[in-house]
C-alpha cells in the first residue's frame, strides 16, 4: 500500500498526489500524443471519436455527476455548439480559434437560458424538461433552415490554424491532435474547478441544498453556473463533432444522442472525470463490437448480413441495467476497487466498499 507523507497543505491541493501519479498521467498523455504513429486511419478515427465523446461527457458529468442535475437534453447543446461554430466560421469567416471558443460560449449561454426556468425542477422533473428540449432541438434545426440548412444540412468549413490545414479525412493526425488538445485543456480546467471553491459548491448543492444554503452557497447561482460551464464544454464537443462528421443535419442530434450521453457517464462512473473517458470508450466500442458480432453471426449461420433496427440502443440499455444492478459506481468505481485490491493484497475485505445506509431524511429541518 502506498502512504503519502504530507508535509504541506499543498500536497492535497496540487494536481498529482505524488511523483508516481504524475508519471502515470504523463505517460498516458505521451501515449495519446503518439497514437497517430501507432494506429491506422480507421482506428485513429475511432480514437478521435472517443475524445469528442469524452469532452461532451465531461460537460454532462459536471452538471450531473458533480452538481447532481440530470440532463436528458445535452444533444441540444452539442447542436448549439456545432451549428454556432459552422455558422460563425463558414458564414462570418471567423478564424477557427475565435469561432470555436465563441461557439462554446454561445452553447453555454443557451445553457444558462435553459437553467433559469429549470432551477425549480429537481431530479426526474428536470430530466423530463431537458428531454423535451432535446426533442424540440431537432424541429428547431429543421425550421431554422436559412441558418442551419434544414434537412439538407450543413458542411463543416475547413480548419486552418496558423496556416496549417486541418482536415479530418485529409490529415486525420492533426485533427486527432486538435481534439486531444481540447480534451486535455478541458480536463485540466475541470480538475482545477474540483479543487477550488466552485467545485465544492457543486458537491454541496448535489448533496444537500438546505445545508448548502446554510453555508452561504446559493443553489440558484451554482446551478446556473454549472449549466453554463457544462453546456459550453458540450458545445465545444459539438463543434468538433461537426468537423468529424463533415456534413451534418438535424438527424445527428437526436434524443437518442442525449440519452446515450447520460448512459455514458453513468456507465463510466458518476462524479469522476475518469468516468467520462471510460464511458466514451464504451460508446465508441459498442457499435464496432456489434458490427463484428453481426458479421460473425452471418458467417456462422451462413445467412446474409442481418440488420436489426435499434440493436445498438438495446445493447446500451442492457449494459446500463447491468451496471445499475451490479456496479452503480460505474467503470471508474470498479477500477478503484481493483486498484485497492492490488494495493492492499492480501488484506482486502469484501465489505470495504459496502455502501452505507444513509440516514433517514424525513423531517429534515425540524
Partner 1 sequence: MTLLEVENATVRFGGLTALEDVSFRVGQGEIFAVVGPNGAGKSTLFNVISRFCQPASGDVRFEGESVLGHSPSGIAGLGIARTFQNIELFDRTTVLQNLLIGRHTRRRASILPQIVFAPAVRREEIAHRGAVERIIDFLDLHPYRDNAVAGLPYGVRKVVEIGRALSMEPRLILLDEPASGLSVEEAGDMRFWIEDIRAQLGVTVLMVEHNMSLVSAVSDRVMVLADGRIIALGAPREVQSDARVVEAYLGTGTAMR
Please give the Cα distance from 118 to 102 (Å, whole number).
24
Q: Are 114 and 130 in contact (CB under 8 A)?
A: yes
Residue 20 makes contact with Mg ion by CB under 5 A: no
DSSP at 360: P
Residue 74 contacts which entry, Mg ion, partner 1, none (Cβ below 5-8 A, type-dependent)? none
Please give the Cα distance from 63 to 69 (Å, whole number).
6
Nearer residue to Mg ion within complex by CB, 357 or 364? 364
Residue 361 contacts which entry, Mg ion, partner 1, none (Cβ below 5-8 A, type-dependent)? partner 1
In b/e form, how buried is each residue of 262-297, taking b as 16+ CB within 10 angstroms? bbbbbbbbbbbbbbbbbbbbbbbebeeeeeeeeeee
Nearest Cα residue to 157 out of 90, 205, 98: 90
Please give the Cα distance from 219 to 237 (Å, whole number).
27
Nearer residue to partner 1 within complex by CB, 132 or 215? 215
Q: Is 216 helix (H, G, I), strand (E, B) or coil?
A: coil
Which residue has the closest beta carbon to Mg ion?
366
User: Between 327 and 366, how does the x/- string for binding to Mg ion read (CB under 5 A)?
Assistant: ---------------------------------------x
| Phi, psi values for residue 163, rounded to 5° | 80, -5
Residue 363 contacts which entry, partner 1, Mg ion, none (Cβ below 5-8 A, type-dependent)? partner 1
Q: How far is the CB of 356 from partner 1 (least distance, A)?
A: 5
Which residues make beta-bridge pairs with 165?
160
| Contact footprint for partner 1 (CB under 8 A) | 8-10, 12-13, 189, 192-193, 195-201, 203-204, 206-208, 210-219, 225, 271, 356, 358-361, 363-366
Nearer residue to Mg ion within complex by CB, 354 or 366? 366
Residue 300 contacts which entry, partner 1, Mg ion, none (Cβ below 5-8 A, type-dependent)? none
Which parts of this chain interact with Mg ion (CB under 5 A)? 366
Amino acid at each position: 500500500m502506498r502512504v503519502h507523507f504530507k508535509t504541506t497543505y499543498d500536497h492535497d491541493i496540487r494536481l498529482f498526489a505524488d511523483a508516481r501519479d504524475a508519471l502515470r498521467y504523463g505517460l498516458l498523455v505521451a501515449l495519446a500524443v503518439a497514437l497517430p504513429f501507432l494506429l491506422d486511419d480507421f482506428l485513429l478515427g475511432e480514437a478521435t471519436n472517443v475524445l469528442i465523446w469524452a469532452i461532451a461527457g465531461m460537460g454532462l458529468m459536471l452538471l450531473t455527476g458533480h452538481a447532481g442535475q440530470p440532463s436528458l437534453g445535452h444533444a441540444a447543446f452539442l447542436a448549439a455548439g456545432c451549428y454556432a461554430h459552422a455558422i460563425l466560421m463558414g458564414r462570418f469567416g471567423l478564424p477557427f480559434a475565435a469561432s470555436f471558443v465563441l461557439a462554446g460560449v454561445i452553447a453555454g449561454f443557451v445553457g444558462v437560458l435553459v437553467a433559469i426556468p429549470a432551477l425549480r425542477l429537481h431530479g426526474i422533473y428536470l430530466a423530463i424538461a431537458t428531454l423535451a428540449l432535446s426533442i424540440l432541438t431537432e424541429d428547431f434545426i429543421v425550421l431554422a433552415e436559412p441558418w442551419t440548412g434544414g434537412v439538407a444540412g450543413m458542411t463543416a468549413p475547413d480548419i486552418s490554424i496558423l496556416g496549417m490545414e486541418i482536415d479530418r479525412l485529409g490529415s486525420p493526425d492533426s485533427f486527432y491532435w486538435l481534439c486531444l488538445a481540447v480534451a486535455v485543456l478541458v480536463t485540466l480546467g475541470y480538475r482545477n474547478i474540483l479543487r477550488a471553491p466552485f467545485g465544492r459548491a457543486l458537491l454541496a448543492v448535489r448533496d444537500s441544498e438546505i445545508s448548502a444554503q446554510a453555508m452561504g452557497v446559493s443553489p440558484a447561482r451554482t446551478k446556473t453556473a454549472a449549466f453554463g460551464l457544462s453546456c459550453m464544454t458540450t458545445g465545444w464537443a459539438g463543434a468538433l463533432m461537426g468537423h468529424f462528421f463533415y456534413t451534418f443535419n438535424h438527424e445527428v442530434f437526436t434524443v437518442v444522442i442525449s440519452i446515450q450521453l447520460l448512459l455514458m457517464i453513468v456507465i463510466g462512473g458518476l462524479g469522476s472525470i475518469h468516468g467520462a473517458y471510460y464511458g466514451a470508450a464504451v460508446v465508441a466500442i459498442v457499435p464496432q463490437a456489434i458490427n463484428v458480432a453481426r458479421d460473425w453471426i452471418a458467417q456462422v449461420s451462413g445467412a446474409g448480413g442481418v440488420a436489426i433496427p435499434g440493436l445498438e440502443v438495446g445493447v446500451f440499455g442492457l449494459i446500463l441495467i447491468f451496471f445499475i444492478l451490479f456496479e452503480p459506481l460505474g467503470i471508474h468505481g470498479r477500477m478503484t476497487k481493483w486498484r485497492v485490491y492490488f494495493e492492499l493484497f492480501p488484506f482486502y475485505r469484501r465489505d470495504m466498499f459496502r455502501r452505507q445506509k444513509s440516514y433517514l431524511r424525513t423531517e429534515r429541518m425540524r
